Amino acid sequence: MIQSLPAAAPPISWTSTPVSGLTGTALVPGDAAIATRALVLAALAVGESVVTGVPEGLAPLADVLCMLGAQVAPREAGVWRVHGVGVGGLRAPVGLVDVGDNALAFALLAGLLSTQGRDAFLVGGGPGSAAFLKTALAPLGRMGAAFISNGGGPLLVRGTGGPVPIDFRPRTPVPCDVKSALVLAALNTAGRTTVVEDKPTADHTERLLRHFGAAIAVQSQADDVRSVSVTGEHELKPARVDVAGDVTLAAAALVAATLAVAIGRPGGADLVLRGAGMNDHRAAPLRLLRDMGLDLAAEGIREQAGEPVADLRLRPAATPLRGIATVGAQLGAGELALLAVAALGADGVTSVRGLSSGLAGTLAAALSACGGAVEGGLDFLTVTGGRPVPGGATVRVPAAMAPAFLALGTATAAPVTVVVSDGRFPVEAARLLNALGGACQPGPGGVGHGPDSTR
């Protein structure tokens, strides 16, 4: 059984109050996407693993892993010990396999349970689970699994006891969570399973599998095509995983510090963010900020559990940031929000085109509610910077965008209250900002300071 640490009820909203500037040194909170994978793989290793830097919000996943036979116990904040049962050693779950709103955990468990030879009712995953199921069920079915869904209720996973390896070469780009699910399904499948990506996605799963001793091979081909192959029925070894810091949270702190300098506050912006993940597939916010003129140095580059990490040092810029033009097709909601908020403190116009439908409109409405000069269409966003932003608003945004709006609130004229429209509030973003001199406080959702951007 999981030995849970006492936990307070999660806050519904956070209010970010203007401060003079951000300075100092802070450890970047662990990346939830890496921590989720690490806990699952530790449960499949033979023996005890230690995972450090685990962010809040993963207790439902830990409960599920215990239900499946692993022993999972938090020793202190962010440090977990996991005693795994082996790749084929999971037991049949009793009751619903509920991962909460963790879409990645839903995907990983769907793949893992597909080749365990048992039935399981899988629930949770939030809005992202529907898109995953649309793409993943066909290839998992080719491996021998069967799935029954009544539309919105629990997904019955009929795991096969005799899985067969597949060579999956989809005609359209394969999402990262689908790739990860197939790779985990392959762990308990005799033979070699291969997934081919026309457009390479985040490789956290592959890096962690190597760290745990899996038989995995990754090959890059022409035109950015990449194949990931796993030879199954190969036991994983226990390992220590120090989870790399979430680069999106690091970028939020960098944006907040830069905004303070842009509007002339005297607090400065000399800060160091320790242990930030530097995976090329997740570093888009840092590349964009550098394109805008951010004076950022990556020091002490090293590896943690196969992931590149560095200490990021931001120095006060001699000149303001400048607006840029870029294509946003590959940007996630959080990355786009950070770029747009940074653009409010940059000279000139920042334009982003090629956005997915709906994303630009949601962001433009929230930024406009705070007083930003923003225009958004079906697939574009334009931000005019170099002028004060009043703030004084309540914005309701996806959880991925919340760190950017907390950063914005540190530099507006009046506080900004952020309410998430989906999932868990990323409290780690608020705590990182506070560690550097921010003033973010939890509060009731829907009670704000001015207009609501969702109206």
Distances (CA, A) of 131 to 39, 161, 172: 23, 26, 14
In angstroms, the Cα distances linking 36 to 41, 69, 121, 127, 187 are 9, 17, 20, 18, 17
Residue 402 phi/psi, 5-degree rounding, is -60, -45
Residue type, 277: G
- What confidence tens digit (pLDDT) does each residue in 91-127 have? 999 999 999 989 999 999 999 999 999 999 999 988 7
Name the pairing type of β-strands 119-123 and 146-149: unpaired
> Which residue is listed with tokens 């690490």?
38
Q: Which carries the bigger pLDDT value, residue 57 or residue 230?
A: 230
Interior/surface letters 161-196, b for 16+ CB within 10 angstroms, e for the rest: eebebbebebeeebbbbbbbbbbbbbbbbeeebbbb
- The size of the chain, in residues, is 455
pLDDT for 144-169, tens place per residue? 999 998 777 899 999 999 999 999 99
Q: How many CB atoms lie within 10 A of CB 36?
A: 25
Q: In the structure encoding, which two tokens stand for residue 120, read together?
A: 């399981």
Instruction: Say yes or no to pLDDT of 263 above 70.
Output: no
The H-or-E segment that residue 186 falls in is helix 176-187
- Compute the average pLDDT of residues 435-439: 95
d(CA 125, CA 121): 13
pLDDT at 374 exceeding the cut of 60:
yes
DSSP character for 163? -
Q: In the chain, pLDDT over 90 holds for what percent of residues?
A: 75
CA distance 411 to 434: 14
Strand partners, 299: 311
Per-residue pLDDT tens digits for 39-56: 999 999 999 999 999 998
User: Is the confidence at residue 173, as pLDDT, over 90?
Assistant: no
Mean pLDDT of 417-431: 92
How high is the pLDDT of residue 4? 40
Model pTM?
A: 0.92
